[in-house]
Amino acid sequence: MSGIFSSDRKSIITHLKEIFAQRKQEKLTGGATSVPFLRSIYSHLLQEAYESGDFEKKERIQKRIDKMDTVKDHVLVRYLCKELLMFFLVFFFIFFAIFFVNQFLLIIQTLLKKHVSFWTSLKLIFYYMPQIVSQSAPFATLVGFLVCLGRMVTDNEILILRASGLRYNKTFLPVIFMGLLISLFSFLMNDYFLPLGNQKAQRLMKEIASSNPAVQLEAHSVTRMDRTSLIVGDVGKTDISDLIIFDQSSSGKPKIIIAGKSLVKSSQEDGIIMQLIMKDAEVFMLNENHRSDFEVLVSQEAKLNIFQDQIDSFSNTLSPREMTSFDLWKRIKKMKKNNEGTKNTYMIEFNRKFSVPFGSIFFALLAFPLALVFGKKDGQTLGLIFGIVLSVAYWASTLVGQMIALKNPGTAFLCTWVPNFFLGALGVFLYMRLRKK
C-alpha cells in the first residue's frame, strides 16, 4: 500500500481530514455513517489516477478494490454456512431423536425386561449410534436447508443480495458446499463407523445370549433359525411355555416338536448358543413321500441344542451391513468370479453405502431453488412442510426400490439411485427457471 500512497501524500492527508470532519459532523447530528474508510481512500486515489492518466496506478488501485469485494464474498459465504449449519443441527437432532425412539428404545426395553444390565444396554445403544447418524443427516439437510433458505427469502435477505448485484451462484455455491461436507461426514459414518458398530453390537449380543439365552426368544412370536422355526408362548427369565418347533432337517424328514413348559439354559460347549430342556415333549416325524406315514415319539424330557450358525445374526461370516464399501466390492468381485448367485444383497448394500449419504448433495441442490420459488411468504413454514413431505416420499421410495432390487437381480444401482437422480433433476430444473427470471 506504501507504493500507492507515496505519490501524493498532501492529497491523501487533505482527503483524510475531509473524511474525519464528515464523520464528526454525522456523529453530532445522528446521521448515517459514510462509506467505509479504506474504500473512500481507494476511490479518491482511483479518481486522481484517472485524472492524471496514470493507468499503471489505476490498475493497482482497482485490483485492491476488487480484493475488498472478494473479502465481502467470503463474509457472505461464512454467514450462509453458519446459518445452514445451525438449521441443519437443529433438525439433525430432531431426526436423530425420531430414529432413535423408533428403532432402539423397544430393543432396550426388551433387554431390560430380560434382566440385562443397564450398562450393557447403554453399550448396545452406543454401538448402534452410527446407523442413526447416517440415516438422520440426509433428511436433516433437506428440511434444515429448506427452512433456513425459506427464512432468508421471507426476510428479504436474498432480495437484498440480488439488489446489491450478486448473482444466484454466489448464494448457491455455499449451499452445495455445505451439502458436500455433510455427505462426506455421513459417508464416513456409513462406510466405517456403521460396520464397526454393527460388528461390536453382534459380539455383545453373543455375550448377552451366552449368559441369558432367553433374550433371543420373544414372547408370543415366531423365531426363525436357519431351517428351524420356534413358536413360543410366555417367556420368563429361564423358561418358556407352549413351545412348538418346526424343523426341516437335512435328511428331508420334517419334524414337529410340541412341549409344555421348557427350560432355557446356556451351554459351555463351543458353538451352542442355548439348550432347550423340554418337558413332556412329543415329536412328530413326517414322510414327505408318503403323507400317511409318520412317526410319533413321546418323552418326559428332551434336550434340543440351538447352534450359533442357526441364528443368522450370530454367523461367523460378516453380513453386508457389517462390511465397508471396499470389503463389499472385493466380495462382489469374488462372487462374480465364482458365479455365486447370492451377490444381489451385496450389490444393494454396496450402492446404499453411497446413495444414502450422498443424498445430502441432491437434497441441497433441490432445497435452494425450491425455497427461493415458494418461500416468498411464510418461507419457514412452507420449507418445513415441503421438507417433511419430501423426506417421507424419499424414505418410501428407497424402501420400494430396495424391495424391487431384491426381486430383480442386476437393478441394484438403478433402484437405489433413482430417488437421488429424480430430486437432482428437479432441483436443476427449478434452478434454471430461477435464473431465467
pLDDT of residue 108: 72
Q: Pick the most confident of 26-35, 41-50, 157-166, 301-310.
A: 157-166
pLDDT reported for residue 302: 79
pLDDT of residue 270: 66
Tally of residues, the chain: 437
d(Cα 427, Cα 153) in Å, to the nearest integer? Answer: 17
The residue that leads in pLDDT, 163 or 129, is: 129
pLDDT tens, position by position, 5-47: 444 555 555 655 565 555 555 444 444 444 455 566 666 666 7
Amino acid at 101: V
Q: Read off the pLDDT band of 76 (50, 70, 90).
A: confident
Among 268, 249, 267, CA closest to 257: 249
d(CA 322, CA 320): 5
Residue 149, pLDDT above cutoff 70:
yes
Greater confidence (385 vs 44) lies with 385
- Identify whether the C-beta of residue 299 lies closer than 8 Å to the C-beta of residue 332: no
Q: What percent of the chain has pLDDT over 90?
A: 23
Short-list 407, 388, 347, CA closest to 143: 388
pLDDT tops 80 at residue 338: no
More confident residue, 24 or 192: 192
* pLDDT at site 1: 44
pLDDT digits (tens, 9 = 90+) for 78-115: 888 899 999 999 999 999 998 888 777 767 766 766 66
Query: What is the Cα–Cα distance from 205 to 143, expressed in whole angstroms?
Result: 35
Where is pLDDT greater, at 131 or 268?
131
User: Mean pLDDT, to the nearest integer, of 343-355?
Assistant: 88
